[in-house]
Every structure is written in C-alpha cells, then in structure tokens.
Chains A and B, each alone.
Chain A
C-alpha cells in the first residue's frame, strides 16, 4: 500500500462518515480510527511497503497520524465516556415515533449534537452530547423514565 492509497482511504472515510477502517494484507496491518483516541500507535511496515524511502520519520507517519491515530486492538471501558441525564423525565431516541433516531451506534458526535429527547412535564428537551467521539453504546431504553445522573449513552 502506498501513501496515496492511504490518503485515498482517509478521504473515502471522511466522505462516507465512517469511523473505523482496518486491513491486513501480507503481514501488513493498518487500522485507521476517527475521533479522539488515546494513543498513537503504528504497525510499521514489515517489508517497507510504504515506499523505498529511508526510515525518515517525517514522511510516512505524519499525514496518517494527524487525522486518524490508530488505537490498540483491545479497548478498555475506561476509554468510554458517559452521557448522563441532566434531568428527570422520559427518554426518547427520536423526535417522534415516525422519525429516525437521533443517533445510532457508530455515529460520530460533537458537543452540539442532539443525541436524544427527554420529555419532562410535556416539554420535549433536546439533550446534547457535550462530548466529542463516537456512540459506542445506547444504555437507556426509549420510552422509559430516567433520573438525574442516569447513563444514557457511552461514547468512545
């Protein structure tokens, strides 16, 4: 795989709102992950597939690391952040029964993304993620009451 191929993959990921890309071929492993990651780890090319350039660190790793640092294979739950309820009410995943849910697992969110509605006293309150990342788990159940501090989503 050449650097321009990796750049092409990154572009495709951006265009299609994908968060993870993994490939393994002939001993070469590559994983690209969008969003705030914890570590920057590279699987160095075993046989110099990234080109014949001498091991000059400036070339290959830099453009790859900036937008999408790879993360270790195993993921601890410590890296998951929680979106908790700021109020008491009923949790809904969508604006109405006919609408699609605001978010699904894998959806990328920023601080301003509306992730759900909590209905309190006939008022529909839009709840923002207030976190940047990717929805990893949907913890609360749509249509069920939630209390202050209750976990609604987990975000990677």
Chain B
C-alpha cells in the first residue's frame, strides 16, 4: 500500500482525496497556488508545498513543479483528481518514468480515449454504436459540406482535443455551416492549442447518460450503472441523478455491457466513465470517455454503496476489485446539485469573494462535498463550484423532497450562489416527472413559471 500520496488538485476534490487517504492510513501532500494558501485541503493535508502563482498555468498545470514537490515530499503516488492534469497522458507518462504511480488508467488508454476522434474509432471497432458523423478530422470547409449532405442536419462541429463544452458549434443548415466550422476551429485553437475538429449528427434534445466503469489491474472490469446528466446549462452539468428516470433495466444491461466491452478493448484500468447520448426511442450512441474520476461520482457511491476514490487508490496499489464493488447493486436514488459561486439573477455572473457566513444542511440522507467555510475567500482564478449537495432517498420522490428541504436549509452569505436556481428546478413539474433532456434548462428558464426566489435573510445583525 502507498505510504504517501500527492494530491495534484485543489478545492473540493482535493479534500475528497485527502479524506480517502486518511481513512486508508496514507499520508498526504497537498500542492497549492498562492491563492489557495488558506484552502481547507491545504490545512488538512499532512504536508503542503506552494507550487506557484494563482493562475492555473503557473501552478496546478506546472508538471515540473508538481514532480519536484513529489520528489521533495518523497511520495509513492499522485492522484490527479478531475480537470487540470487528470486526462493529460504526458503527465501520466512523466509519473511512470519517475516511478511514481499515477492513480488512474495507463497512458496508452488515455491516448486511445482522450482524443475524441480516436475514441469514436475505438468504439466502432468494439462494435459500439456511435453518433453518425465524420470518420476522422474534417480538414476543410468543403469536406464539412460534403459530409453534411450525407448525414443531414442539424449537426455539431466539435474539437478533437475539447472538453467542458468548449470548442463546439452547432450548424442547422448549409448556410450556417461555414461560419460554425471556422468559429469552432478558432475557439478550439485558443482553448486547447489544437484547432482540429470532427463532425457529429446533432441529436435533438438528447439525454446525456453516462456509465461508471471500474477496472482493476488484473483484468476485472465492472460497471456501476448509469447517471443522468441531462440537466445542463451552456453544456455544463448542473444537476445529476442516479439512476436515470429514462433507462429501463433492459437498456441498462445493453449499455452497461457495451461500456465494459469498450473499456476492455483499450485495456482500461481504474475508474472511468463512458458517456452516451440517448434519444426518446431508446437508441444510444457513444459520445466520449472520461478517463478519470468525475465530479458526479458521488451519486453512484450513494446508490451502489461504495467509496470510488478509495477504490481508485486500492486498484492503483495493485489490489483486486473489492467484493462489495464487484458485486454492487443499485439500492437507492441519489441527486446532486452543483453549488456554484454565481449569481443566477444576473445571468450566472461569477461571484468570487469572502463567504461571510456558511451553514450547510445536514440530517438523514444529506451529503456535502465542499471546501467552503465561514470566512473562506473564493478565488477568481478557478472554476466557480464551491460545493456539491447530494441527497439520497429510497425513491426518486423522497430524494427530491430531501433535496428541496436541504436547499432551503443551505445558508451562504457574502457571495451569490446558485442555491435558489436549484430550488426552482426542484419545484419544476417536468423535472419531478423525470421528463427532461439537455434542452431542459434553457427552455425552463425562458418559461413564465420559473422563479428564482432569493434566500431570505436569516440572522439578525
């Protein structure tokens, strides 16, 4: 078993990893930027090393400084969390060459599935259906037009090196194809340093369904069911639930089987997620694979009764899949709301700054994964998520009722948060009926009966 692990991340996921390490009796080394000196994960780690100035490019993305810290701290393994270097195959290779275990898949699997284009090719080879689209990179606008005439509109132009909903443009007809093609290329070049794009048929108002894969280093691969992540705003997930109200047991079996087949075909190890788009007729199409632990791993943990981050560490240390993970079954229903430091009444404008007062909900079936606390200063340099609120219930109805109750209890002052936005979604009839898709948030925010009610002031000054 590892003696010391370096956490190459920040915020709530760094805290999550430190908690798993502490429970396994493993010492922790946090690396942090100058903006995160008072962060909770830095305070709770056994050791901490400052690796740079606030901007991510000068700290959390600095492979050389992270490896120096790993050497100085004499660690056995590095957990990359999500985002930052988590899906950077080169970083995984550097760890390998330094004899420090990268807690995640082998670099070869990251190469195969990290490039969206190559991932589609692997899926086709494994007999998993993919969305109709280009066979590879679309080099020119003329090629785009030719392909579009074959597969029809609407379609989506996507960056091969993309992620987080960026480097994407939709085109609904031939007239808009040219501008969309060039806009996607430009954004991709700027955001990822790679302007290559591929094209997919745009499935109108699909459901985003993803399967959790866990594989040990001895060839044993299982899936832990699906998560429904259709509730998105600007291609960013905001609410996730497990299981999906859309997926029947038969469809779950088919898709789960496809996910395992594809993961095995690329020699996948450790935790990963297969993403699919599903239409209302039960047709599913492979979208992409995330070769890391995900933000919403939490709801799978609650429903299937496991600790996925601990399992990641154990797998990386050479253990076989824990029996309770290998034989896990879905027992409950879980929902997660991502609480962001954003103002929902001002078009979700970021709201960094000092949290004057912080009270998180508790009680039966409520889980908070957060690094926030009273007096914490939310820095402006990173993503705006400050907490994940997860509720669990025996049924979907009770999980929703619990989420409404928990959101009402949540009290954060000093900054604006999306708590009132989530409350409004919980009150929505379509959400309660389980009839929603990726177009849901846009539609519902424009409707008349969507009302964001600010949290009433609670304390008397």
Using Cβ atoms and an 8 Å threshold, which residues of chain A touch B68?
A: 87-89, 120-121
Q: Are B65 and A87 in contact (CB under 8 A)?
A: yes
Min CB gap A81→B, angstroms: 18
Q: Are A120 and B51 in contact (CB under 8 A)?
A: no
With A87-B68, A147-B51, A150-B50 already in contact, 10 other A-B pairs whose C-beta atoms are closer than 8 Å:
A88-B51, A88-B65, A90-B72, A120-B65, A121-B98, A147-B49, A148-B49, A149-B34, A149-B50, A149-B52
**Known contacts A88-B72, A90-B72, A149-B34; A121/B67 CB under 8 A:** yes
Query: Which A residues between 104 and 153 are near B, CB-CB below 8 angstroms?
Result: 120-121, 145, 147-150
How long is the Cα–Cα vector from A148 to B68 in the complex, in angstroms?
11
Interface residues on A, range: 10 to 19
How long is the Cα–Cα vector from A88 to B68 in the complex, in angstroms?
6
Q: Which of A121, A145, A147, A149 contacts B64 (CB 8 A)?
A: A121
Closest to A86 in B: B52
Q: Are A148 and B71 in contact (CB under 8 A)?
A: no
Using Cβ atoms and an 8 Å threshold, which residues of chain B touch A121?
A: 64, 67-68, 71, 98
B69 adjacent to chain A (CB < 8 Å): yes
Residues of A in contact with B (beta carbons under 8 Å apart) = 87-90, 120-121, 145, 147-150
Query: Which B residues between 52 and 81 are near A, CB-CB below 8 angstroms?
Result: 52-53, 59, 64-65, 67-69, 71-72
Using Cβ atoms and an 8 Å threshold, which residues of chain B touch A145?
A: 49, 72
- Going nearest first, the 10 A-B pairs with the smallest beta carbon separation are A88-B68, A120-B68, A145-B72, A147-B50, A147-B49, A148-B50, A88-B69, A88-B65, A148-B52, A89-B68
Closest to A90 in B: B72
Using Cβ atoms and an 8 Å threshold, which residues of chain A touch B65?
A: 87-88, 120, 148
Q: Which of A87, A88, A147 has the most CB of B within 10 A?
A: A88
Using Cβ atoms and an 8 Å threshold, which residues of chain B touch A90?
A: 72
Using Cβ atoms and an 8 Å threshold, which residues of chain A touch B67?
A: 121
Using Cβ atoms and an 8 Å threshold, which residues of chain A touch B52?
A: 148-149
Closest to B72 in A: A145
**Known contacts A87-B65, A121-B64; A148/B72 CB under 8 A:** no
Using Cβ atoms and an 8 Å threshold, which residues of chain A touch B53?
A: 148
Min CB gap B54→A, angstroms: 11
Min CB gap A57→B, angstroms: 48
Using Cβ atoms and an 8 Å threshold, which residues of chain A touch B69?
A: 88, 147
How long is the Cα–Cα vector from A120 to B71 in the complex, in angstroms?
8
Min CB gap B52→A, angstroms: 5
How long is the Cα–Cα vector from A148 to B33 in the complex, in angstroms?
9
Min CB gap B429→A, angstroms: 52
Min CB gap A131→B, angstroms: 19
Closest to B34 in A: A149
How long is the Cα–Cα vector from A146 to B61 in the complex, in angstroms?
19
